[in-house]
Amino acid sequence: MRREKISDDNCSIGVGAMIVFIAMVLLASMVMISLIKITEEISQSTQRTAEDARRNSVNTVVIVGGWVYDSWDDMLFMMEFGSSGEEVARLDVMYVLTCSYDDGTFNYRSAALGDSAGGSAIYVWEVGTPGPDAGGAFTNVAQFRPGARYFFTLDGGTQATPGGTQCGPNDLAAKGITADLYLHLPNGMSTHQKLSLSNGNEKGSQII
C-alpha cells in the first residue's frame, strides 16, 4: 500500500479550519444566549406593562364636579370610576383633605369615603338614585361599580377636631385660601383635586 506524506502546509490548513469552526460554534452560542436573554426581558417587560395597564384601567377615579353643599363646611362632589374591572369597596377608598393657613398651620383630615370619623354624617350614593335629602332611611353604597358615577359629601375639620370647619367652604371663604382633596384607591391610582371657591361659600357655588 502506498502511503502519502502529509505536508506541514496541509496540517496548518486543517488546524486553521478547526479553529475557525470552533470560533463559529462559540459565536453562535453567544448569539443564541443573547437572543434568549433579550426574549426573556421583552416578555417580562410586556407582562409588567400589561399588568400596569390593567390595574390603571381598573382602579381609576376622576372627580368631575364639586359644589358647596350647605353654605357652611359641607361639600358635595361627583366622581366617576373607570369603565372596566372589578367593583371597589367603598370603605377601601380613602380621602385626604388638606389646607394650609398663611401662618403656616397645616390642616389634615383623612378617612374612608362615607366615614365621618367623629364629625357630622357624610354620605355616598349613586347618581340617579335617591340621596340623603330624599327623606326616609338612607344607607351609603357599599360597592363602587366600574363606569358608574357617585355623589359623596365631605365635611371640614381635622383628625383632631372632625367637627371643625378647617378646609371647608366657610374656612376657605374667610381666609381666602384653597384646599386639596385626594382620593386613594386600593392597588390603583390616586387622584388630586384643587378646591377653590368660585362664588364664595354660597350653597351651590362651585368649589373646583
pLDDT in tens, 38-79: 887 887 777 666 665 555 555 789 999 999 998 778 999 999
Encode burial over 50-70: b for 16+ CB neighbours within 10 A, e otherwise: eeeeeeeebbbbebeebbbbb
* Contact status, residue 145 vs residue 129, Cβ threshold 8 Å: no
pLDDT in tens, 179-206: 999 999 987 788 999 999 988 888 889 9
* Contact status, residue 185 vs residue 93, Cβ threshold 8 Å: yes
Alpha-carbon distances, residue 119 vs 101, 114, 140, 141, 159 (angstroms): 21, 11, 16, 19, 10
C-alpha 108 chain-centroid distance: 20
pTM, rounded to two decimals: 0.72
State the pLDDT at residue 52. Answer: 59
CA distance 62 to 82: 8
pLDDT band at 135 (very low <50, low <70, confident <90, very high): confident
CA distance 122 to 188: 24
Burial of 157 (0-12, 13-18, 19+ CB in 10 A): buried
